[in-house]
Structure formats: C-alpha cells, structure tokens
Structure 1
Amino acid sequence: MPVKTLIAAIFLFGITSASAAQPAPLVEAEGTQLRVTLADGRVLHSPELIGATLLIATADGGAVRARLDALEADPDDKTGKVWLHSFSAQDKDGAWQPLCMPGPDKRQQGFPLAGRARADGSVAAAPSTELELVCTSGARGKCVRFGYHPWENARDGSPMLPLYNACMRMVRADYGGNDHPYTRNGMTIDIYDDLDVQKLDAGEAMPFEAGWSEQGAVCLAHPRVPENGSLADIASANPHLAGHLGPEACTEEKARALGAVLFNRSAASR
C-alpha cells in the first residue's frame, strides 16, 4: 500500500452515519491532529476520534478503510505538538493490519499533515483540508519529529516549510532535488541548522556531508552511500552541482554562502 494517502471521507461510527442525506463532515489537519467538523457544528479532534473508521483514497487511485486505534503524544517531541496515531487498514479478507511500516524505532505510527505533494518530492503549502496521512518511518514523518513543523513559522518569523523540505531532501539524500534518493535505511546522520531546531552533536566525529535548501543539496562533500552513487555519478546526473562537489568545494561555510538552510554530517558507508 502506498505510504501517501489522501483522506477522502470519514465515517464516525457511533457518532454519525454515512447517510446520503447527511452532509459529509469537514476533515482537516490541525498540526498533527485530525479536526472534524460535523453537520451539527460539533468539532472533534483526534483524541475524540479513536475508533473512527476513515475511507481514504490511496496514491494509486484505489481506496481503503482505515481505523484510528490509538493515540499518544510523541515522547521525543519537546514542543507537545506532535501526536502519534496508530492507524490500521482493512485488507481484502477483512483483517486489520497496521497502516504504516515500522521505522528504525519499530514504531508503526503516523499522523495527518496538510500539504500538497509535488512531483519532485517536495511539499507545497495547501489549505488544511488538503492533507495526507504520513508515517513516522518515512522522510515526511521523520522531519516533523525532528522539529521541522511545516504548518508553523520559525523563531525568526520565517515559514518553516522551506526547512521542512530541505530536511526531507537531506533524509533521502536527494542531492539533485528530483526525488532520486541516494541513501539507504539505517544510515547515521547528524543534522543541524542555524535556528537551533536541531543542533550539531559535539560528540559525533563524522565529516561534513552537505548543505541543503528546499531544492536539494547546494553542495556535496561526500556521498553518504558511495555504492548508490559516487561523486562522479552524482555530477553526471546533476550538472547544476558542477563546481560544488568534493570536500574542498563543500564546507559548512561555503554551503551557507550558497543558500543552505540545513546541514548534515555523516560517515560514508563502507
């Protein structure tokens, strides 16, 4: 099942019914919670929707029934704004299975997130009614949990969405900004930015990898997984990075001068 799923309708069994005569509830994303406005004016949020069954349209044009089974505050989130939803999906045999695949932390959770996915792998701002269910095992979910909340402004008043998009590029090692990842699961990376959403881990002695904007890497010191693409391979596939590849051409200072808003260090795989 595709990870990206768009909510098409919601049926709240025991609260309302899917009657043709009854207007469909208004479903929105409010941060990482669902917000549902019923025909009678009542407004319900995720804690009040546990047990609700949703009809969702999948990225491949199909549809599936999903159920909200549980909800918890993200224990790693210091802001109190990230809520982890346990969704299950009904398969063809009627059995319920977790909607999300497990991530490195073994969690199989996700949350709704407003935004419009672009073909290049980035996300555009969208009304709260345009939302997807994203899983914590994927780049979109990971970057929210890292603190890059695309619905908010950063502490300097600037929109957080460019940082969020840069984070997704970084997580996937999407150097060219064309939704072509060069990473693999299980790689260790150290992320940091100038707004201190994420800070450099002083205990990690990994070399500088790249500086990132929402369009991809602005420069690349070394590929994270060389067997997935050497510097020569990446240069050939991404001519716009010419002159900005290699440890001398890409330092934190040079990346910042090229417009990077996010930086990372990594140990190249062997």
Structure 2
Amino acid sequence: MNVRNLVLFTILGMGMGAGCDDVGAVDAADADLGAVLPRPGSGASGGVWLNTSTIGTTAFSELDLSGQVHAGAQFTGAQLLRPGNVWLDITNGSVKDGTLEAKVGSKVYKGADLIGSRWQLTLFNADTDGDGDHDADDEAAVPVEIWITAVQQISTKEARYVFETYDADDNVVPVCSPDASGATTMVPIKDLAVDEVTGKMTKRSNTLYLACTSGAIGKAVTWGYRPWERTLEEFEVATRMIRADYCFTGHSFTQTGTSMQVKDRYNINTFLHTGDPNEAVWGRTGVRCINTPRSSTYSAPQVQCNGQTLPACPSDVSLTTYSDALFWTKVDAG
C-alpha cells in the first residue's frame, strides 16, 4: 500500500480530575515488573521499561499527529479498512479519554471499526547531523507501516489496541512486547510527552502516546491510574512507583521477578497482605520515606538521592503520615 497524503489529527480535549474506581482489593504484583526485555524499549535505566513499543530495532512511543517530526518519528498517513476490502483515507482523528476515533468525511469510526486500519510513519533512527534530535535532517529515514489487528473495549471510555508491523526479516510481529498475561496491547494517551531518560512527563499538543501494557506507563493505566482521571503529576508518580524510581530521576531500583503491593489515596488498590514489609511512601515530588527497597540488591541506606539517604518510614506509617502521599507500597514477602 502506498503512503497517502498527510492526515491531520485533532485530539479532543479531556478533563483531568481526581477520581476513583470501585476495583476493590488488588494485589499489584506482576512477575514481569523488573523484566529486562530482549528488544529495545524506552526508559530502561535500572531494568523496568517506561514503554516496550518498538518497530524493528527502534524504540517508538510518541507521534505528532499534525505530521511534525517528533521523538524520531513522523506520521504521514492512515487508511481505514471497510467491508468489501475497501480502503478509505482517514481525514481526521482523535483520542477521547482512552479510546481512538477516526473520521472519514463526517462519519466517525471507533472500536472494532478500527481493526485493519493502517498507519504510515517515517522513522529517523540516528542523530547523524549531531544536533541532538532525530528529524528529517538526519540520515536513515525509514518508511514503515503499523496496523491494528485487535481492539479490546474495557469500558465506554477505555480501549486497548494491538498494533502489528514487520520486523527486519519481514515477519509480522506485535509493536508491543507481551505483558504478564501475554497480551501485546497498548493504550492511547492524549497530549503526552515523556523524557525517556528521566521519566519526566509534559503536556504536548497534537501528540499521541501509545503505551504498551507491558511497560510502566501502560501498566499505570491497567492498575487504575488512568491519565484522563488524574492530573499529569499524579500519573507520573504512578509510573515512578511502578518502576521503583525512588529518586524521581528515571533510575529504577528493581530487578526481574520482583513483586509488590500498593495502596493508594484513591481507594483503587489496597494491600492483601498487610504484614508484608513496608517499601516506601510516594509523595507528589518524591519518596517521603523508605524501609525495604523492592530489589534485594539494595539496602535502604544504599538508596541515595542527590547524595542523601532517604528517611526511614516510622513504624506506624500510613497514607495519612504525609500530607502529599499518593501511594504506599509494600514488598511482597512471598
């Protein structure tokens, strides 16, 4: 299929307010939390990826849907498959809450209608001109195509999508690495840009972030911390908590197979085993205290942020101990 004319996507606005879901007690342990994956991803410092989305050997998470080169990629077009093997150019699209929508003329398509849709991109793999970015001035521009093969509707506001593409040997492969359940799904997030080194999140207009459920950002959504219900600050802290990023610098203090529990201020998740050792309490701008690091490689005094040892948690610590506490985590004692 030839690349069509540039498609301009306009992302619908959405509110960001605190909310909660009636999920009940959830053990937030995942066997792959600390997995070091065999293919590239983003934010790999310390072992837990921010995202696991790749095309070939190129990490890929963000698209500027107005067609600007951004984060080493440029979006160049998309088509929708309709009955009778008819292809229609998508003329406009949007992210609304956690779902994708596509418009052809005045008609809006979403959900299962997007299965088979094909998206054309150009990837810029190397900063060959040395200016610190990956754009059209760099060499090795590679045209690629990804397509949606499945849509899982979680609710009226949330869906998960499976994107596939070709690898270097022309094999069809998922864009996302599998999560703990084996799913290669991703969640669309509106106007999100993430520093792959530090994990810092910023709002960026006309940007679509495709978050694999096997990475920390997608996992934060599946654990209930949906960015369309949280502030950006709160969502970022959720991803740092998942990665054991105690210093809020992007470094993840965890290892393969490490599980944990989380209790939060939103009444989404809570402890199943209250007697397990306290790990940490997570505030809006940093870890407020730490007792038992998630990885047995470290002791609490070895976790230093800006050269300073973090305070120990008091024996009666709780989410009310610190006024800005968002999460309280425990190490799974097995």
TM-score bracket relative to the smaller structure = 0.7 to 0.9
Deviates more, 1:166-175 or 1:96-105: 96-105
TM-score by length of structure 2 reads 0.65
Deviates more, 1:104-113 or 1:259-268: 259-268
* 2:106 aligned with 1:41: yes
Task: For 1:58 and 1:112, locate their aligned partners in 2 and report how far apart those are by CA, in whole Å.
Answer: 19
Task: For 2:301 and 2:332, locate their aligned partners in 1 and report how far apart those are by CA, in whole Å.
Answer: 19
> Which of 1 and 2 has higher RCO (CA within 8 Å, sep 6+)?
2
* 2:87 aligned with 1:15: yes
Alignment-derived partner of residue 225 in structure 1: 295
Show CA shifts across 1:54-78 (max 9, x none).
124568556532110011134xxxx
The 1:57–1:116 alpha-carbon spacing in structure 2 relative to 1, beyond 3 Å, is: farther
* 2:252 aligned with 1:178: no
The 1:57–1:265 alpha-carbon spacing in structure 2 relative to 1, beyond 3 Å, is: farther
Three-state SS of the structure 1 residue aligned to 2:219 is helix
Gapped regions of structure 2 (runs ≥ 5): 1-39, 42-52, 54-59, 64-74, 81-85, 126-133, 135-141
Task: For 1:268 and 1:230, locate their aligned partners in 2 and report how far apart those are by CA, in whole Å.
Answer: 15
Matches of residues 23-102 of structure 1 in structure 2 within 5 Å? 25-38=91-104, 40-56=105-121, 60=125, 61=134, 64-74=144-154, 81-102=157-178
Alignment-derived partner of residue 226 in structure 2: 149
The 1:255–1:223 alpha-carbon spacing in structure 2 relative to 1, beyond 3 Å, is: farther
Three-state SS of the structure 1 residue aligned to 2:101 is strand
Gapped regions of structure 1 (runs ≥ 5): 18-23, 153-158
CA contact (8 A) 1:33 1:112 kept: yes
Task: For 1:59 and 1:148, locate their aligned partners in 2 and report how far apart those are by CA, in whole Å.
Answer: 32
Taking only the aligned residue pairs, the percentage that are identical comes to 22
Alignment-derived partner of residue 13 in structure 2: none
The 1:204–1:106 alpha-carbon spacing in structure 2 relative to 1, beyond 3 Å, is: farther
1:46 CA displacement: 3.8
CA contact (8 A) 2:237 2:284 kept: yes
Three-state SS of the structure 2 residue aligned to 1:252 is coil
Alignment-derived partner of residue 163 in structure 1: 234
Alignment-derived partner of residue 132 in structure 1: 209
The 1:82–1:51 alpha-carbon spacing in structure 2 relative to 1, beyond 3 Å, is: same
Three-state SS of the structure 2 residue aligned to 1:15 is strand
* 2:189 aligned with 1:113: yes
Alignment-derived partner of residue 331 in structure 2: 266
The 1:87–1:218 alpha-carbon spacing in structure 2 relative to 1, beyond 3 Å, is: same
Three-state SS of the structure 1 residue aligned to 2:88 is coil
1:205 CA displacement: 2.7
> Which structure features the higher share of helix residues?
1
The 1:68–1:179 alpha-carbon spacing in structure 2 relative to 1, beyond 3 Å, is: same
The 1:185–1:59 alpha-carbon spacing in structure 2 relative to 1, beyond 3 Å, is: farther
Q: Which amino acid aligns with 1:70?
A: A
Three-state SS of the structure 1 residue aligned to 2:87 is coil
Alignment-derived partner of residue 303 in structure 2: 234
TM-score by length of structure 1 reads 0.78
Task: For 1:58 and 1:142, locate their aligned partners in 2 and report how far apart those are by CA, in whole Å.
Answer: 25
Number of residue pairs matched by the alignment: 245
- Tell me how large the CA RMSD over aligned residues is: 2.8
CA contact (8 A) 1:224 1:268 kept: no
Q: Which amino acid aligns with 1:174?
A: D
Task: For 1:53 and 1:71, locate their aligned partners in 2 and report how far apart those are by CA, in whole Å.
Answer: 14
